[in-house]
Amino acid sequence: MERLAEMKEYILPKWNERFHKDISKVRTDYNRNQREILPEFCNYIDHNLISKAKEHVSSSEKQGGQLFLVISYLHSSIATRSYEYEFSLCNELLYVDRNRISTYWHPEFLYPYTWDQEEFLQKELQKKFIRVKKYETEVLRRELFSSYWGIAKEYFDELTADIKKKENLRVYYGEHMGELESLPSTSGQA
């Protein structure tokens, strides 16, 4: 474990610099393509969650309670490199709602540099450490790539603003089956 801690201490400043440059490029690309990304996202959520929920919910239930859109990041998506997020539509019971409807979405616009970042991680570690083992790189990759979750939260706040108003939803974001926080939809820049 000492070696992993030493590796992390060495790579973290280099990774942070690289990550911030990549995220800046992501923001530029997102702003340039927002007219395509926003409708694609809204249509996906409407088709895969909202319309299905309306089909399955009786009219008496529709009049009742508030609906919640829960966006969860998944540790498994970093391990599998799918970088998907779970989107669930549910009532106030959230995770224990038996009628919860879920789907998964990969925000492609957020992850265009992952392969380059993995390569960067490997090469930088090899500059200082002899025989970098695959598991060492993987442990560091998983930890470093979790930085995307905070960035994603800001984008999801923007992307859900219209759906939230239109469908009268409360939107929460957080770890799958873990702690959630409300997305305020400030519609500011991520």
Q: What's the pLDDT tens digit per position in 59-70?
A: 435 545 678 889
CB atoms within 10 A of CB 133: 12
Q: For Cα atoms 27, 168, 48, give the angle at the middle one, nearest 5 degrees.
A: 65
Using alpha carbons, select from 71, 151, 69, 156 the residue that is nearest to residue 111. 151
The backbone torsions φ and ψ at residue 111, rounded to the nearest 5 degrees and listed phi first, read -120, 40
pLDDT greater at residue 91 or residue 36:
36
First and final CA of the chain: distance in angstroms?
35
Segment 20-48 mean pLDDT: 92
The pTM assigned to this predicted structure is: 0.85
99 falls in which pLDDT band (50, 70, 90)?
confident
- Give the strands of the sheet with 101-105, arranged side by side: 101-105, 85-90, 67-73, 169-175, 180-182
